[in-house]
């Protein structure tokens, strides 16, 4: 009696509000696991983080309210700015090649007729592997004396490089790993987007005498816009939270010149190595602000232009 499918719900009788809400208890019970878990392990800690950001606390002694001190210190902390810069640079160095390569591969894959499933599976495998294992792998191939990259350079007569001992080398090694891991995933998403474009549009373009390049830029790319937005947003959220790759490849210090120090690694260090919880909370809030800012920017770039609203 109490359970009624949405379509057949007769909205004739109006029971007192209390009873009406109560009669839906099964639905609320069904939804409760997520909301209870979120309240306990999500919302409550997040609110505590906001409070903590205005306090000084080492986890043992009493908390001390210090107002905006953590933020004032954060703004003056060169490591924070370094971490911010590294994160954005790494994000660009990995996301741009990833998405461009993915688009190229997707277009090629679309015109391939045979073995497409084999390619899809092969391209996706990097995405479902152990992150730590692969970070170790990439640090091994970029190793100075014994790494495969340097072995390849030497056999070409190019002097070896100290990849993981130099600021730019560290960034190249980290972004290479991210590119390797995410190209296939984005390829598949672009491929699905390409296949959703109506064939008539291509035929019309052909009739109008448009070449391959013209067709790509005036039909394929605009039609793909929502899918591109999706991949950019996902890459942004992931990229701004890069932690495992630098932590495993160059360690908690962030490596030479702290050039592998990302904001999340910076946060991890402040909270769980230095036990500077209030400061870590301020960093966490700045990460959140960063994610919001970048999401808003993406939204404007990809949704704002060329649309009616």
Residue 81 touching other proteins (CB under 8 A): no
Selected from 109, 149, 170, 232, the binder of other proteins by CB under 8 A is 109
Residue 62 touching other proteins (CB under 8 A): no
Provide, rounded to whole angstroms, the least separation between the CB of residue 167 and other proteins. 21
For residues 154 to 173, the per-residue mask of contacts with other proteins, x marking binding by CB under 8 A and - elsewhere, is xx------------------
Selected from 10, 111, 156, 159, the binder of other proteins by CB under 8 A is 111
The sign of the dihedral angle between the CA atoms of 72, 77, 78, 84 is: negative
Residue 253 touching other proteins (CB under 8 A): no
Provide, rounded to whole angstroms, the least separation between the CB of residue 4 and other proteins. 7
Provide, rounded to whole angstroms, the least separation between the CB of residue 97 and other proteins. 13
Selected from 15, 26, 204, 222, the binder of other proteins by CB under 8 A is 26
Piece of 71-79, 90-98, 177-185, 205-213 that binds other proteins (CB under 8 A): 177-185
Residue 34 touching other proteins (CB under 8 A): yes
Provide, rounded to whole angstroms, the least separation between the CB of residue 122 and other proteins. 4
Provide, rounded to whole angstroms, the least separation between the CB of residue 222 and other proteins. 16
Selected from 63, 210, 291, 302, the binder of other proteins by CB under 8 A is 291
HEC profile of the chain: CCCCCHHHCCCCCCCCHHHHHHCCHHHHHHHHHHHHHHHHHHHHHHHHHHHHCCEECCCCCCCEECCCHHHHHHHHCHHHHHHHHHHHHHHHHHHHHHHHHHHHHHHHHHHCCCCHHHHHHHHHHHHHCCHHHHHHHHHHHCCCCCCHHHHHHHHCCCCCCCHHHCHHHHHHHHHHHHHHHHHHHHHHHHHHHHHCCCHHHHHHHHHCCCCHHHHHHHHHHHHHHHHHHHHHHHHHHHHCCCCHHHHHHHCCCCCHHHCCCCHHHHHHHHHHHCCCHHHHHHHHHHHHHHHHHHHHHHHHHHHHCCCCC
Residue 5 touching other proteins (CB under 8 A): yes
Residue 54 touching other proteins (CB under 8 A): no
Selected from 72, 75, 100, 108, the binder of other proteins by CB under 8 A is 108
Selected from 198, 222, 251, 304, the binder of other proteins by CB under 8 A is 251
Contacts of residue 215, Cβ cutoff 8 Å, sequence gap at least 6? 202, 205, 206
The count of residues interacting with other proteins (CB under 8 A) is 103
By CB under 8 A, the residues from 131 to 150 that bind other proteins are 131-134, 136-141, 143, 145-146, 148
């Amino acid at each position: 009696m109490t359970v009624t499918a949405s379509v057949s719900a007769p909205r004739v009788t109006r029971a007192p509000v209390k009873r009406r809400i109560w009669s839906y208890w099964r639905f609320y019970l069904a939804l409760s696991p997520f909301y209870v878990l979120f309240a306990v392990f999500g919302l409550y800690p997040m609110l505590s983080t906001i409070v903590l950001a205005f306090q000084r606390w080492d986890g043992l002694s009493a908390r001390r309210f210090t107002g905006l001190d953590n933020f004032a210190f954060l703004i003056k902390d060169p490591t924070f700015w370094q971490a911010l810069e590294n994160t954005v640079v790494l994000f660009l160095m990995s996301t741009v090649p990833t998405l461009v390569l993915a688009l190229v591969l997707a277009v090629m894959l679309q015109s391939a007729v045979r073995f497409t499933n084999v390619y899809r599976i092969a391209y996706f495998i990097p995405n479902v592997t152990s992150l730590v294992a692969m970070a170790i792998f990439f640090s091994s191939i970029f190793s100075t004396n014994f790494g495969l990259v340097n072995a390849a350079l030497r056999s070409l007569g190019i002097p070896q490089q100290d990849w993981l001992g130099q600021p730019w080398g560290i960034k190249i090694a980290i972004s290479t790993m991210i590119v390797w891991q995410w190209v296939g995933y984005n390829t598949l998403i672009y491929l699905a987007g390409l296949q959703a474009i109506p064939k008539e549009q291509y035929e019309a373009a052909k009739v109008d005498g448009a070449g391959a390049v013209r067709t790509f830029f005036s039909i394929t790319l605009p039609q793909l816009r929502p899918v591109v937005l999706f991949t950019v947003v996902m890459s942004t959220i992931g990229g701004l939270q890069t932690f495992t790759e630098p932590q495993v490849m160059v360690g908690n210090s962030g490596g030479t010149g702290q050039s592998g120090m990302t904001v999340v690694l910076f946060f991890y260090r402040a909270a769980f190595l230095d036990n500077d919880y209030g400061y870590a909370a301020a960093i966490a809030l700045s990460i959140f602000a960063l994610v919001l800012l970048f999401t808003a920017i993406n939204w404007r770039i990809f949704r704002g232009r060329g649309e009616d609203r």
